[in-house]
């Protein structure tokens, strides 16, 4: 009986748990049908494009401006999120105060709130007549329908990524090292920047990367507050949408392909950081 | 936290000489770190108020701006109810499909070693890094008139793009890794010794899963399902591309919000939004309860 089960071997040892065939079959077929085959279509249709056409589409002024707006706003939003996400994670892990659980629960709101709802709510809040927008309008700063507005929407969707990446690492951090640093005479700032931050940095970077990637692809919460002024506040996903509405499928595919490549490169970067991080902590 | 440490601290003073060092450091540290504490909490509260709480307040205020009767009529409107129905349908379908996938994939990747595990895990995560608009686009390029499956579908009179199946497929796509992502770390940490022991004692595959693996993952599974539900009911970009905005047919609630808003029917848009806000808050509460059970 046992010998029958132990007949499938590989280099890691003996495979005794039954069900490998079923599991790999279900996993691969669902992944293939629902994700990989549809995703392959974009490469199939991109292959049908002429190279000169492709270059012409993705280097047109409007499209370049779309990429620049998406990337620059997503980058600033991810930076803002890295700072505030760090503060939030710190407050949630290290301090006790009334309403802490409520605050912890609120962090995931951007995950749970549909992006179109977030989009119209932020627009109403930050437009010239909005509760906050009116305050800024008085000192001459327009938020909605500018790149500041786009950045704010991206901060909204990205904040949980940083908090949830940093929080578990901070919880596990051994406080002995801080105490030792403090006792050896390091000030609070120095302890934070020299002892705590280096430990948290990989997690912070991973959270930053996820927030950045989410910001680049974000559509729903951004389109309302962006105002979509050509060459100024049009984001790349919106350009894909516009081309689709004009039935210019080839153009949409070309823009999407470049955007996909950008996010893949970013994910690759995040993954290599995480692998490096694992080796570093194990080594 | 303070309450817990204080008795220890007193014990330490009474105890050996080494701990009395803490006595010298702590009081000096306390005043300063108290100030830092309040500043940091203040910053956090301000940030969350500006970014998260005020938008919710805006939705509520605008939804009720024209009174309760208008609000009630808007959310009981025929199109709103139909949109709610489609949102629920797409969400249930996405959660069901992704739960089945998540369990099989997480079990496969944590209990079996085979070549290409890493690649498979990376492929499952793909939808996370893809813009929702592109997720919608890939289905148009596959099943639409210009897609490579287009002629076949047309010949058999099957409509996917600009129809309900497309909305469901797009929702499944964007939420694809959610359940897997929650289950995988738990199963991985649990190891496979227990399953191997059970297998060697002659238990079948299903018995092993149900009696040994499942009890370990039930709370993580619930947590994953909750996250998946949240994302599925709120999906906008992907569904927006593929739905064709047919009112009463392929309109989900988040799309209905957009249509009303673009028609300058702001009050109605916010009234419909308030339904989604309530659903989001319910999900957040459920998530918190599940989280305390999983102990994340």
Tell me the pLDDT tens digit for each residue of A3-30. 444 444 444 555 778 888 899 999 999 9
Q: Which two tokens stand for residue B226?
A: 């909750």
pLDDT tens digits for range A151-180 = 999 999 999 999 999 998 898 888 888 888
pLDDT of amino acid A280: 65
Give A10's strand partners: A13
Rounded to a whole number of angstroms, the distance between the first and last alpha carbons of chain A is 41
Are B241 and B133 contacting, i.e. CB atoms less than 8 angstroms apart?
A: yes
Q: CB of B247 within 8 A of CB of B79?
A: yes
Average pLDDT, stretch A241-258? 89
The rounded distance, in Å, linking the Cα atoms of A194 and A212 is 26
Q: Which residues are within 8 A (CB) of A206 and not within 5 positions of it... i.e. 6 or more apart?
A: A165, A270, A273, A274, A277
> DSSP label at A60?
S
Tell me whether residues A130 and B133 touch, CB distance under 8 A: no
pLDDT mean for each 10 residues of chain B (296 residues) = 44 47 47 83 91 90 87 87 92 96 93 86 86 92 85 85 91 93 88 86 87 88 91 90 77 90 90 92 87 63
Average confidence (pLDDT) over A92-114 = 89
Are residues B254 and B236 in contact, defined by beta-carbon separation less than 8 angstroms? yes
Only one residue has tokens 């003073």, namely B13
Residues in A closer than 8 angstroms to B29, CB to CB, are: 182
CB contact under 8 A, A96 and B2: yes
Which of A238, A232, A273, A233 has its CA nearest to residue A259? A238
Residue B11 is predicted with a pLDDT of 46
How far apart CA B124 and CA B279 sit, in angstroms, is 28
Query: Which residues on chain A are in Cβ contact (under 8 Å) with B1?
Result: 95-96
* Cα separations in angstroms, B12 against A144, B16, B20, B51, B258: 57, 7, 7, 44, 62
Residue B156: both structure tokens together: 């058999």
Partner-chain contact A219 B131, CB within 8 Å:
yes
Query: How far apart, in whole angstroms, are the C-alpha atoms of residue B195 and residue B193?
Result: 6
**Could you give the ipTM of this predicted complex?**
0.83
A202-219: pLDDT as tens digits: 889 889 988 998 899 899
Beta-bridge partners for A152: none
Q: Is B114 on the interface with A (CB under 8 A)?
A: yes
Using CB atoms within 10 A of its CB, is residue B18 exposed (0-12), middle (13-18) or buried (19+)?
exposed
The Cα–Cα gap between A84 and B66 comes to: 37
pLDDT in tens, A214-239: 899 899 899 999 888 888 889 999 99
Q: What are phi and psi of A15, to 5 degrees?
A: -100, 100
> From the list A105, A115, A132, which residue is nearest B284 (CB)?
A105
In 3D, which of A41, A31, A54 has the Cα closest to residue B144? A41
Look at B236 and A183 and tell me if their CB atoms are within 8 Å: no
* Burial tier of A51 (Cβ tally within 10 Å: 0-12, 13-18, 19+): exposed
Q: Do B148 and A41 touch (CB under 8 A)?
A: yes
Six token digits for residue B295:
């102990």
DSSP A149-199: HHHHHHHHHHHHHHHHHHHHHHHH--THHHHHHHHTT--HHHHIIIIIHHH
> Terminus-to-terminus CA distance in chain B, angstroms?
18
For residue A84, list chain B residues with Cβ-Cβ distance below 8 A. 43-44, 47
Chain B CB contacts of A240 below 8 Å: 131, 133-134, 137
From the number of C-beta atoms within 10 Å of its C-beta (0-12, 13-18, 19+), residue B54 rates as buried
Q: Indicate whether A2 pLDDT > 60.
A: no
The Cα A225–Cα A179 span in angstroms is 46
Identify whether the C-beta of residue A231 lies closer than 8 Å to the C-beta of residue A61.
yes
Q: Any CB–CB contact under 8 A between B181 and chain A?
A: no
Residue A89 pLDDT greater than 70, yes or no:
yes
Q: Are B260 and B268 in contact (CB under 8 A)?
A: yes
Cα–Cα distance for residue pair A70/A78, rounded to 1 Å: 12
Nearest to B108 among A24, A112, A216 (CB): A24
B5 touches chain A (CB under 8 A): no
- Tell whether the model's pLDDT for residue A150 goes beyond 70: yes
The residues, any chain, with a CB within 8 Å of residue B31's CB and separated by 6 or more, are none
Report the residue of chain B nearest A256, measured CA to CA.
B134
Q: How many Cβ atoms are within 10 Å of B13's Cβ, its own excluded?
A: 10
CA distance B202 to B219: 27
Q: Which of A121, A236, A269, A272 has the most B C-beta neighbours within 10 Å, making it the best mutation to test the interface with B?
A: A121
- Do residues B154 and B145 make contact, with C-beta atoms less than 8 angstroms apart? yes
Three-state secondary-structure class, residue A14 = strand
User: In chain B, count of helices (H) and strands (E)?
Assistant: 16, 0
Say yes or no: B44 contacts chain A, CB-CB below 8 A: yes
**Residue with token string 């920047």:** A193
> 3-class SS at A56?
helix
- Coil, helix or strand at residue A99: coil
Residues of chain B with Cβ-Cβ distance to A95 below 8 Å are: 1, 37, 40-41
The residue of chain B nearest to residue A108, with distances taken between CA atoms, is B284
How far is Cα B2 from Cα A279, in angstroms, rounded to an integer?
Answer: 36
The structure tokens listed for A259 are 């955007």
- Paired tokens of A211: 């927030």
Quick one: which of B252, B172, B132 has its CA closest to A244?
B132
- Helix B78-111 to helix B266-294 angle (10° resolution) is 30
Could you give the CA distance from residue A177 to residue B261 in angstroms, rounded to a whole number? 54
Tokens representing residue B150 in the block: 């287009």
Cβ within 8 Å, pair B48-A106: yes
């Amino acid at each position: 009986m046992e010998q029958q089960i132990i007949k499938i071997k590989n280099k890691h040892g003996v495979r005794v748990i039954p069900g490998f065939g079923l599991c790999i079959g279900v996993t691969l077929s669902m992944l293939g049908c629902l994700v990989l085959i549809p995703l392959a279509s974009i490469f199939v249709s991109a292959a049908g494009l002429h190279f000169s056409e492709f270059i012409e589409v993705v280097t047109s002024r409007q499209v370049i401006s779309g990429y620049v707006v998406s990337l620059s706003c997503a980058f600033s939003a991810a930076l803002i999120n890295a700072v505030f996400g760090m503060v939030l994670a710190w407050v949630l892990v290290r301090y006790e105060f009334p309403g802490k659980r409520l605050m912890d629960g609120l962090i995931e709101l951007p995950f749970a709130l549909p992006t179109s709802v977030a989009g119209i709510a932020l627009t109403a809040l930050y437009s010239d007549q909005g509760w906050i927008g009116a305050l800024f309008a008085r000192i001459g700063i327009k938020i909605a329908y500018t790149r500041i507005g786009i950045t704010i929407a991206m901060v909204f969707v990205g904040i949980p990524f940083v908090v949830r990446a940093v929080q578990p690492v901070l919880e596990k951090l051994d406080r002995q090292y801080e105490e030792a640093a403090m006792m050896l005479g390091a000030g609070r700032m120095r302890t934070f920047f020299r002892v705590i931050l280096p430990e948290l940095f990989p997690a912070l970077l991973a959270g930053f990367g996820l927030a950045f990637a989410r910001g680049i692809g974000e559509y729903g919460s951004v389109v309302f507050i962006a105002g979509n002024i050509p060459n100024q506040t049009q984001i790349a996903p919106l350009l894909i949408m516009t081309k689709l509405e004009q039935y210019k499928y080839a153009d949409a595919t070309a823009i999407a392909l470049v955007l996909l490549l950008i996010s893949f490169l970013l994910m690759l970067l995040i993954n290599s950081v995480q692998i490096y991080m694992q080796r570093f902590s194990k080594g | 936290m303070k309450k817990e440490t204080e008795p220890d601290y007193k014990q330490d003073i009474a105890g050996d000489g080494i701990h009395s060092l803490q006595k010298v450091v702590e009081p000096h540290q306390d005043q300063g770190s108290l100030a830092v504490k309040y500043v940091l909490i203040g910053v956090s509260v301000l940030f969350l108020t500006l970014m998260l709480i005020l938008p919710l307040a805006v939705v509520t205020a605008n939804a009720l701006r024209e009174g309760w009767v208008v609000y009630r009529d808007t959310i009981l409107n025929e199109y709103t109810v139909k949109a709610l129905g489609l949102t629920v349908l797409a969400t249930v379908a996405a959660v069901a499909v992704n739960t089945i996938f998540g369990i099989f994939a997480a079990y496969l990747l944590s209990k079996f070693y085979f070549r290409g595990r890493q690649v498979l895990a990376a492929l499952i995560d793909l939808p996370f890094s893809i813009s929702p608009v592109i997720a919608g686009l890939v289905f148009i390029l596959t099943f639409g008139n210009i897609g490579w499956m287009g002629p076949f579908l047309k010949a058999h009179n099957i409509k996917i793009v600009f129809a309900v199946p497309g909305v469901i497929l797009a929702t499944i796509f964007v939420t694809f890794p959610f359940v897997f992502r929650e289950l995988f770390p738990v199963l991985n940490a649990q190891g496979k010794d227990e399953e191997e022991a059970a297998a060697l004692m002659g238990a079948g595959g299903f018995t092993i899963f149900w009696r040994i693996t499942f009890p370990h993952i039930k709370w993580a599974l619930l947590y994953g399902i909750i996250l998946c539900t949240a994302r599925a009911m709120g999906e906008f970009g992907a569904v927006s591309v593929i739905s064709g905005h047919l009112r009463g047919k392929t309109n989900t609630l988040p799309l209905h919000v957009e249509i009303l808003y673009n028609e300058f029917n702001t009050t109605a848009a916010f009234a419909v939004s308030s339904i989604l806000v309530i659903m989001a808050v319910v999900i957040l509460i459920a998530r918190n309860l599940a989280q305390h059970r999983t102990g994340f």
